[in-house]
Amino acid sequence: MDKMPKWADVALIPFLNLLIAFVLSGLVIFAIGENPFKALMTMIDGAFGSTYGWGYTLYYTTNFIFTGLAVSIAFKAAMFNIGGEGQAMIGGLGVGIACLFIPTVLMPHWTIALVFAMIAGAIFGAGWALIPAYLQAKRGSHVVITTIMFNFIATALMGYLLIGPLKLKGAQESASASFPDVTNLPTLHELLAPLGISFSKSAPANVSLFIALAMCVVVYLLMNRSRLGYEIRAFGESPTASVYAGISPTKIIIVAMMLSGAISGLMAINATMGQHERLILNAVEGAGFIGIAVALMGRNHPFGVLLAALLFGFLYQGGSELSLWSKIPRELIVVIQGLVILFTGALDNMVRMPVERMFIAAAKRKDA
């Protein structure tokens, strides 16, 4: 028999984990001499009070959907991909190269440019995950360590390229030339205008949001309906049983990591192509790491990831508004992010054990 009902596992425990994380965050705000409730109201207003706020919230949400899905696929295969940050950076490089160097005659419309950019971003991101995956599969070196290393190497590589070869000549900033106009993606403002909905012109949310939503569906189908997803999940649950079933561990490790890297890389269509429209140094802004919190909170389910990404999108946008209107710096969201990962990830048992005991005791009382 199960120790507790499924709804407790799927909803109650994550809710309690989150609650603890948020209460502690509130206490942190209180401790630095601010009013947590007022802060919360400011954040809600900043994130959802205007189409401008919505535009930023959804922009961040888009980033986090990609990175959250990426981390969740690796988690499903029982691997911890901390390298989303680096993979997204290198994915951005791929997107940038596609936008800068594919002749515009081949890209007569932004949709075609987007296809090219997506392919390039996915390939670059997957490639950046390949070496850690290979080392895990063949040498047993922990993918966690190697992906961390690859994050730093990615930072250095991007630094080198944007100060050297890819830098726009004569410019002060470490950034590439602007992408050709044809590669610029329509923003929500442009997309919604024909429908008669007026949306903030300056907000960065763009068509990538819909790609991200579609990606949730694709990942759902991949993981829950395809043979590959079946094999990935089986391997993650039980490597020994997988071998019995004829599933190759080497193949699964490499494929799952490359998928994870590819989806991280796709994040760049939102940030690099959609927002910055050129290669810059820190386009990822830690979204790769937030993906970890998003995946943990979303229980590795695409729909959960979507909700968690929206929550973090809100925190991100609300947090930056908060830093404008109060003395609370943006880093508050990093604290919340840390607490969410801690309580939903590492300290899960702290909540789970007593809740389980409670249900067992309740079941016993019923029996008696």
Partner 1 sequence: MDLFLTIIQIADSGLRLATPLLFACLAGLFSERAGIFDIGLEGKILVSAFMSAAIAAVTGSVWLGLLCGIFASISFSAVHGIASITFRGNQLISGVALNFLASGITVLAAQAWFSQGGRTPPLMGEGRFMPIELPFALGRSDAEAAGVPLRVLIDQANPIQQIYSEFISGHTILVYVALLMVPLSWFVLFRTRFGLRLRAVGENPAAVDTAGVSVIKLRYASMAIAGTLCGLSGVYLATGLGAGFIKEMSAGRGYIALAALIFAKWKPVPALGATFLFGLLEAIANRYQNIDLGGFVIPVQFMQALPYILTVVILAGFVGKSVAPKAGGQPYVKER
Partner 2 sequence: MVGAKTEGQQATVAPAIELRGISKAFGPVQANKDISISVQPGTIHGIIGENGAGKSTLMSILYGFYKADEGQIFIHGEETQIPDSQAAIRAGIGMVFQHFKLVENFSVLENVILGVEDGAMLRPSLAKARKTLKSLADEYELHVNPEALIEDLGVGTQQRVEILKALYREADILILDEPTGVLTPAEADHLFRILNGLRDQGKTIILITHKLREIMEITDTVSVMRRGQMTATVKTKDTNPEELAELMVGRKVLLRVDKVPAQPGENVLDIKNLRMVDDHGVERLKGINLNVRAGEILGIAGVSGNGQSELLEVLGGYATATGEIRINGDPIDLTGKYSDGRSRRERGIAHVPEDRQEHGLIMNFPAWQNIAFGYHHSEEFQKNALLMDNAKMVEIAQDKMDRFDVRPPIPSLEAKSFSGGNQQKIVVAREIERNPDLLLVGQPTRGVDIGAIEFIHKQIIGLRDQGKAVLLVSVELEEILSLSDRIAVMFDGHIMGERMPDQTDERELGLLMAGVTGEGDS
Q: For residue 283, with 0-12 CB atoms within 10 Å meaning exposed, 13-18 middle and 19 or more buried, which class applies?
A: buried
Binders in 78-97 for partner 1, by CB under 8 A: 80, 82
Binding-site member from 349, 364, 365, 367 for partner 1 (CB under 8 A): 349
User: Looking only at residues 166 through 205 of this chain, which bind partner 2 when binding is defined by CB under 8 A?
Assistant: none
User: Tokens 């981390």, residue?
Assistant: 71
Q: Which residue carries 């990942």 as its tokens?
A: 219
Q: What, of partner 1, partner 2, none, does residue 241 touch, CB below 5 to 8 Å by kind?
A: partner 2
Q: Which of 175, 263, 268, 336 binds partner 1 (CB under 8 A)?
A: 336
Q: How far is the CB of 229 from partner 2 (least distance, A)?
A: 9
224 binds partner 2 (CB under 8 A): yes
Contact 70, 331 (CB under 8 A): no
| Residue 233 binds partner 2, judged by CB under 8 A | yes
Q: How many CA atoms lie within 13 A of 240 on its CB side?
A: 0
Does 140 help bind partner 2 (rule: CB under 8 A)?
Answer: no
| Site track for partner 2 across 2-31, x = CB under 8 A | x-----------------------------
Stretch that binds partner 2, among 47-55, 192-200, 246-254, 359-367 (CB under 8 A): 246-254
Instruction: Please state, in angstroms and rounded to a whole number, the distance separating the CA atoms of residues 58 and 232.
Output: 30
Q: Which residues pair with 187 in a beta bridge?
A: 206
To which H or E segment does residue 159 belong?
helix 143-163
Check residue 149 for interaction with partner 1 (CB under 8 A).
Answer: yes
Q: How does DSSP assign 310-344, residue by residue? A: HHHHHHHHHHHHHHHHSS--TTHHHHHHHHHHIII
CB of 300 to partner 1, least distance (A): 13
Pairwise CA distance, residues 354 & 36, whole Å: 28
Which of 218, 206, 190 is CA-nearest to residue 269?
206
Which region, judged by CB under 8 A, interacts with partner 1, from 107-115, 234-242, 259-267, 339-347? Answer: 339-347
Distance, CA of 244 to CA of 224 (rounded, Å): 21
| Stretch 199-238: interaction string toward partner 1, x if CB under 8 A | ----------------------------------------
Q: What residues line the site for partner 1 (CB under 8 A)?
A: 28, 31-33, 80, 82, 131, 135, 139, 141-142, 144-146, 148-150, 152-153, 155-157, 159-160, 163-164, 289, 292-293, 296, 327-329, 331-339, 341-342, 345-350, 353
